[in-house]
Amino acid sequence: MTVREFYDVIGGNYADTLSRFLSEERMKRFALKFEADPSFSDLCAALEAKDADEAFRAAHTLKGVCQNLGFDCLYRPAFRVTEILRSGDLNVGADMDELRTCYGVVMSAVRALRESDS
């Protein structure tokens, strides 16, 4: 899988991200590092524990990482979840469902991108 194909699969913004990272090699290197980012699992754990403050921090971090990497499909629901949690409201329902779905798509594509190196 090429970097452009990766961004097509995840509904990301290839051109904008390339303008920030200046090379596909850097884009790929940082996209592959996303696999180790704990923000999503931290968010899920905080929601399960009903810890609004920690959930907000995790969602906000995830949102920022996704925005920087041009993972627009994941950024949008992360943004909505962040804004709900900002007020201390843990009722993230459908937005969290969408975030989980998009996270799965991104992680699957990251694994495919990694395997394309082999």
What are 29-49's pLDDT values in tens digits? Answer: 999 999 999 999 999 999 999
**Mean pLDDT of all residues belonging to the chain:** 93
Range of the structural domain that residue 53 is part of: 3-115
What is the tally of structural domains in the chain? 1
**Which 3-state string (H, E, C) describes 81-94?**
HHHHHHCCCCCCHH
What are 82-111's pLDDT values in tens digits? Answer: 999 999 999 999 999 999 999 999 999 999
Average pLDDT over residues 1-30: 92
Q: Which long-range contacts (CB under 8 A, 24 or more apart) does 33-36 make?
A: 34/65, 34/69, 34/71, 34/106, 34/110, 35/107, 35/110, 35/111, 35/114
Q: Quote the CA–CA distance of 41 and 16 in Å, as a whole number.
A: 27
Q: What is the pLDDT of residue 118?
A: 56
Q: What is the pLDDT of residue 3?
A: 93
- Asked whether residue 77 carries a pLDDT value surpassing 60, the answer given is yes
- Asked whether residue 117 carries a pLDDT value surpassing 80, the answer given is no
CATH code (residue 13): 1.20.120
Share of the chain above pLDDT 90, in %: 92
